[in-house]
Amino acid sequence: MQSTKLALVGQPNTGKSSLLNSLAGARVIVSNYPGTTVEITKAKIKVQESLVELIDTPGIYSISDASAEEKVTAIVIFGENIDGAIVLVDTTGLERGLYLVFQMFETGIPTIVALNFIEEAQKKGIQIDTKKLESTLGVPVIQINPITKKGIKELSSKILRVNELSCCPFIVSYDDHIERAIEIISEGLAETLPLSKRFIAIRILENDKNFFKYLKDKTALDKAADVLTLHPNVSRDISITRYGEASFIARLVTTITPKGRARSFGDRLDEVLLNPLIGPFITFIFFGFVFAVLLFAGGWLQELLMAGAEKYLINLLPTRSSGLLSSMVAQGLYGLAAGVAIALPYVFLFYIFLGLLEDIGLLSRFILSLERPMRKLGLSGQAFIPAVLGLGCSVPAIRVMRILSSEKERIQSAFLFACIPCSSRTAVIMGIVGFYGGVSLALSVYFTIAVSLLIYAFLLKKILKTIPQPLIMEMPSYRRPLLNNVVVKGWVRMQDFVYIVIPLLAAGGALYGLLIEIGLTQFIIKPFEPLTVDWLNLPAETVVPLAYGFIQKDLTPGMLVAVLGANLNDFLSPIQLYTFGVASSIQIPCVIAFWMLIRELGIKNASLITTLSLAYSLLIAGLMWRVISVLSIL
Amino acid sequence: MNENLIREIMEDALRMAVETGKDCVSVNMLKKDITATEELLIEAVDRLKKEGLVRIKNHETILTKKGREKAAKILARHEIIEKYFHDILKEPMCHNVAHTLEHFVSSETTRRMRELLNLKQKGKSAVDFPPGTNILIIAVEIPDKRIFGRLIGLGLAPGSRLKIEEEVPDAIIFNIRGRKIALAKEIAKNLVAVREDAKY
């Protein structure tokens, strides 16, 4: 069977994943290219007995090497040996879409243009003459709607014949000097090239270093510079010409009928959400509410799942002997259950929620409102998303940091997870401090963590001097979300958690089973006395639950009771409960989060972040109990 | 005799008369700046007299009212051409270029040059317009290639028409035919724009 390989290319929010979904359903494979953090989804579909492989690329504004998304898309276009490409264009912004289309034409890859959001454009009074556009561009132009499946059949049949597309799409011609320079560079290029000579020559003129390797005759650059004396900034002149052509053609095929002044619902919503005063207020209320719902619904679901799992596990181990193996198996299964119980309620619910906000178009509005307060902490508005997710579980939150544009900003926000209590740390604070010391004591732990977070963030801002990229963000029109899309996206984002974190939780549980069974923990009590007894004023045994906490935070409450006894009030004063709560909460929570940090930021950064965070937590906890005891004497 | 050359000398003579501030023309004065035979210079001054642009008063050849008006026009054209070549084309030899071109450039071309200059002068930073204004972007002055490319990709290019939707503390929200784009003020300040209905 003959197989065709196609790339889906388009600007952000042009509906690429919706199209992939309507063509392929949920049968997508997610992958990363080595050294990149941006995801690629692929799907194989059957069109009239032929196999078609579709590669969905991240949304890009143009083919260039400026952002991580653009680099990845470049890898797909240049390295995947594709037979053709579908460029998705948002009809309400035709000229922007055409800009990207013209670049694809330059590559020489057979291209089909798909116009999305036709209905939305019509509502705005924008009509496109598709036939005229098709004859101007010289390639098939198809109106599609992935939701109503309009145009999908036509698109599929065109996909199969992508190789037979006529040879000569519209090519932007530049200023005479630039054309001459393109000729000169083309003559200096190597014989075998992955893409058209013209495209590579233009990329070289645009100073894209990745293409310099195709230049055989290095003197061509100087020769080209000779004819470009009137163009001190060639790359800018090239983009302006290309954009000029795009908007000229867009105007040629567009008729705009001015619509009445009636403001749409979206406009009225924006009046509120984008208001400089009300917007941030609503954003905080909204996320507060979301967090409360997740904590409540998630906590309830988690309890339900754990209760069910425990019952099941007890039945599973009929011989409740205290053998080493059965202890490990039991604890391993317990870890597995804990993983599932966190994954489903917190992580999956949150991702579904995030996906909904994204697809409706609300997320970018919220990020705008958060931009100012987050910038005060030296971060961009985007950094709020991993932070909120961190309230559920730090591991997927660390992964979501990929949305941040610079590594420095990722490192800085990774530090903050130390002071963002995940659901397991919440369980320690509520289950130990709250249960034995009362709600107000638990709240004071939260308060301490919050203040520590702010101090930590300001210190980091001073030390790292991160300057987040200035805000450039499109706020897409409000759209009805495609539920299928949201669920698939949620699942894609959760795969790491399911395939990596949950097995690790099970392994951690098994390790824990092994450690208690052979009683290896006792020997660490003595050497840590200076820390526990002298600095933190806690019983020496508490080092055991603190240490186990690093394997899995969920183990802390159980271990504390195990080493001290069920009636904790006999062993710990309220101040000690508070100190224990603070010391066990301000940390990179567990070994899995640590591992995730290694994966995302490298071992050096991960170790630095974890060590510093641990030191910070011990410092705060030790200082706080001293301050409190001094205050209580006064 | 060379008709065009005489015309040029006549125009130069009128301009120089105004530039010196004395409003008078003499062959000796012309000799200093214009390389031409004395014959030609005399002929040019004669023509000026015949056409009623200069007259003799107290042994000096001074501009008539008509002559001053014509000189003012030539001077204005000279200034526009010089400024155009300086401001827009960044030509270092703009003054000399203007001396040459002022005799040839049609009034229609001069008008267009003036329009473009006015537009450039009227242009101000996009952050200086109040929300609700419709603007036309005339220049994107951003040296950073990445940010520049991103803006072009978003449709914030020279020639784009957009509306200032809202101003929030650190950013401006633009509206391009219903698509909203938030831009940090530190970037938006480098977009040069005029009001869309601006007269120039």
What is residue A342's predicted lDDT score, i.e. its pLDDT?
A: 67
| Cβ proximity of A383 and A376 under 8 Å | no
Which stretches of A440-575 are assigned E, i.e. beta strand?
472-475
Grade residue A2 by pLDDT with cuts at 50, 70 and 90: low
Q: Are residues A303 and A209 in the same domain?
A: no
Residue A510 has pLDDT above 70, yes or no: yes
- Among residues A509, A522, A515, A517, which one has the least CA distance to residue A324? A517
End-to-end CA distance of chain A: 85
Residue A540 has pLDDT above 80, yes or no: yes
What is residue B56's predicted lDDT score, i.e. its pLDDT?
A: 85
What is residue B184's predicted lDDT score, i.e. its pLDDT?
A: 92
CATH architecture of B124-195: Roll (2.30)
- Mean pLDDT for the stretch of residues A400-419: 87
What is residue A33's predicted lDDT score, i.e. its pLDDT?
A: 60
Residue A354 has pLDDT above 90, yes or no: no
| Cβ proximity of A91 and A126 under 8 Å | yes
Positive or negative, the CA dihedral A440, A442, A448, A452 is: negative
Grade residue A112 by pLDDT with cuts at 50, 70 and 90: very high
Grade residue A79 by pLDDT with cuts at 50, 70 and 90: confident
Q: Are residues A398 and A530 in the same domain?
A: yes
Say how many C-beta atoms besides its own lie within 10 A of residue B70's C-beta. 20
Positive or negative, the CA dihedral B42, B48, B52, B58 is: negative
Render pLDDT for B108-127 as a digit per residue (tens, 0 to 9).
Answer: 888 888 888 887 777 889 99
> Which residue would you say has higher pLDDT here, A458 or B23?
A458
Strand partners, A167: none
DSSP 8-state code for residue A345: I
Q: Please name the member of A93, A247, A473 whose beta carbon is closest to the beta carbon of B182.
A: A473
Place of tokens 């290896």: A520
Q: Which residues contact A146 (CB under 8 A, 6 or more apart)?
A: A15, A18, A19, A21, A22, A116, A152, A482
Strand partners, B45: none
Q: Are residues A143 and A291 in the same domain?
A: no
Q: Identify the weakest region by mean pLDDT among A176-185, A315-324, A482-491.
A: A315-324
CA dihedral A567→A573→A574→A579, nearest 10 degrees, is -110
Residue A316 has pLDDT above 90, yes or no: no
Grade residue A246 by pLDDT with cuts at 50, 70 and 90: very high
Contacts of the segment A250-256: beta carbons below 8 A, 24+ positions apart: A250/A94, A250/A95, A250/A98, A251/A95, A252/A132, A252/A136, A253/A94, A253/A128, A253/A129, A253/A130, A253/A132, A253/A133, A253/A136, A254/A94, A254/A126, A254/A127, A254/A128, A254/A129, A255/A126, A255/A127, A255/A129, A256/A125, A256/A126, A256/A127
Q: How many CB pairs under 8 A join A and B?
A: 111
Q: Kindly report the CATH number that applies to the domain delimited by B1-121.
A: 1.10.10.10
The residue from A134, A164, A194 where one domain ends is A164
What is residue A455's predicted lDDT score, i.e. its pLDDT?
A: 94
- Chain B's closest residue to A11, CA to CA, is B153
Grade residue A578 by pLDDT with cuts at 50, 70 and 90: very high
pLDDT cut 90: percent of chain A above it:
22
- The segment with the largest mean pLDDT, out of A182-186, A542-546, B48-52, is A182-186
Decide if B1 touches A, using CB distance below 8 A.
no
The residue from A130, A164, A198 where one domain ends is A164
DSSP 8-state code for residue A592: H
What is residue A317's predicted lDDT score, i.e. its pLDDT?
A: 57
Q: Are residues A248 and A341 in the same domain?
A: no
Q: CA A133, A135, A137 angle in degrees (round to 5)? A: 65
Residues of chain B with Cβ-Cβ distance to A66 below 8 Å are: 145-146, 149-150
What is residue A261's predicted lDDT score, i.e. its pLDDT?
A: 58
Residue A121 has pLDDT above 70, yes or no: yes
Instruction: List the structure tokens of A162.
Output: 């992508």
| Cβ proximity of A190 and A174 under 8 Å | no
Q: Please name the member of B145, B160, B183 whose beta carbon is closest to the beta carbon of A235.
A: B145
Instruction: List the structure tokens of B7.
Output: 């015309």
Q: Are residues A578 and A463 in the same domain?
A: yes
**Separation in Å, CA A249 to CA A23, A130, A255:** 29, 12, 12
Grade residue A604 by pLDDT with cuts at 50, 70 and 90: very high
pTM: 0.77
Helix (H, G, I), strand (E, B) or coil at A581: helix
Instruction: List the structure tokens of A110.
Output: 């057979």
How many whole angstroms separate alpha carbon A96 and alpha carbon A98? 5
**Separation in Å, CA A572 to CA A79, A426, A442, A488, A541:** 63, 19, 15, 48, 12
A21 falls within a domain: yes
What is residue B87's predicted lDDT score, i.e. its pLDDT?
A: 80
Q: Which stretch of DSSP H or E encloses residue A507?
A: helix A502-518
Phi, psi of B30 (to 5 degrees): -65, -35
Q: Are residues A534 and A432 in the same domain?
A: yes
Residue A166 has pLDDT above 70, yes or no: no
By residue range, what is the domain housing residue A548? 278-633
Burial of B24 (0-12, 13-18, 19+ CB in 10 A): middle
Residue A294 has pLDDT above 80, yes or no: no
Q: Are residues A403 and A463 in the same domain?
A: yes
In single-letter form, the type of residue at position A587 comes to: Q
How many whole angstroms separate alpha carbon A585 and alpha carbon A456? 14
- The answer to whether the CB atoms of B182 and A368 lie below 8 A apart is yes
Positive or negative, the CA dihedral B20, B26, B31, B36 is: positive
Q: Which of A63, A208, A243, A249 to mutate to test the interface with B (most CBs of B within 10 A)?
A: A243
Q: Are residues A336 and A208 in the same domain?
A: no
A265 falls within a domain: no
How close, in Å, is residue A469 to chain B by CA atoms? Answer: 9
- The answer to whether the CB atoms of A475 and B180 lie below 8 A apart is yes
Grade residue A507 by pLDDT with cuts at 50, 70 and 90: confident
A171 falls within a domain: no
What is residue A149's predicted lDDT score, i.e. its pLDDT?
A: 84
Which CATH number do you get for residue A212? 1.10.287.1770
- The answer to whether the CB atoms of A126 and B173 lie below 8 A apart is no
Render pLDDT for A261-291 as a digit per residue (tens, 0 to 9).
Answer: 567 788 888 888 888 889 889 998 998 888 7
Segments making up each domain of chain B, as ranges: 1-121, 124-195
A154 falls within a domain: yes
How many whole angstroms separate alpha carbon A94 and alpha carbon A133? 11
A503 falls within a domain: yes
Residue A533 has pLDDT above 60, yes or no: yes
What is residue A518's predicted lDDT score, i.e. its pLDDT?
A: 76
| Cβ proximity of A500 and A594 under 8 Å | no
Domain count, chain A: 3
- Mean pLDDT for the stretch of residues A286-314: 76
| Cβ proximity of A105 and A133 under 8 Å | no
Residue B104 has pLDDT above 60, yes or no: yes
How many alpha carbons fall within 13 Å on the CB side of residue A40? 24
What is residue A438's predicted lDDT score, i.e. its pLDDT?
A: 87
Grade residue A4 by pLDDT with cuts at 50, 70 and 90: confident
Q: Are residues A348 and A384 in the same domain?
A: yes
How many alpha carbons fall within 13 Å on the CB side of residue A625? 23
How many whole angstroms separate alpha carbon A190 and alpha carbon A187? 8
- The answer to whether the CB atoms of B186 and A100 lie below 8 A apart is no
Average confidence score pLDDT of chain A = 85
Average confidence score pLDDT of chain B = 85
- The answer to whether the CB atoms of A61 and B160 lie below 8 A apart is no
| Cβ proximity of A338 and A306 under 8 Å | yes
Q: Are residues A396 and A484 in the same domain?
A: yes
Residues of chain B with Cβ-Cβ distance to A470 below 8 Å are: 147, 184, 186-187
| Cβ proximity of B173 and B165 under 8 Å | yes
Residue A191 has pLDDT above 60, yes or no: yes
Q: Are residues A246 and A288 in the same domain?
A: no
- The answer to whether the CB atoms of B166 and A274 lie below 8 A apart is yes
SS3 readout for B14-38:
HHHHHHHCCCEECHHHHHHHCCCCH
What is the Cα A632 distance to its own chain's centre?
46
Strand partners, A209: none
- The answer to whether the CB atoms of A62 and B149 lie below 8 A apart is yes
Residues of chain A with Cβ-Cβ distance to B180 below 8 Å are: 270, 474-475
Q: Are residues A138 and A226 in the same domain?
A: no
Decide if B130 touches A, using CB distance below 8 A.
no
| Cβ proximity of A623 and A459 under 8 Å | no
What is residue A73's predicted lDDT score, i.e. its pLDDT?
A: 87
Grade residue B78 by pLDDT with cuts at 50, 70 and 90: confident
> Of how many residues is chain B composed?
200
Residue B46 has pLDDT above 60, yes or no: yes
How close, in Å, is residue A439 to chain B by CA atoms? Answer: 38
SS3 readout for A213-234:
HHECCCHHHHHHHHHCCCCCCH
What is residue A422's predicted lDDT score, i.e. its pLDDT?
A: 85
Residue B200 has pLDDT above 60, yes or no: no
Helix (H, G, I), strand (E, B) or coil at A423: helix
Considering only CB atoms, which residues of chain A are within 8 Å of chain B? 11, 60-62, 64, 66-67, 92-93, 95-96, 99-100, 124, 126, 207, 235-236, 239-240, 243-244, 247, 270, 274-276, 279, 364, 368, 371-372, 375, 470-477
Decide if B149 touches A, using CB distance below 8 A.
yes
- Mean pLDDT for the stretch of residues B25-39: 83
Say how many C-beta atoms besides its own lie within 10 A of residue A574's C-beta. 16
Render pLDDT for A141-151 as a digit per residue (tens, 0 to 9).
Answer: 999 998 888 88
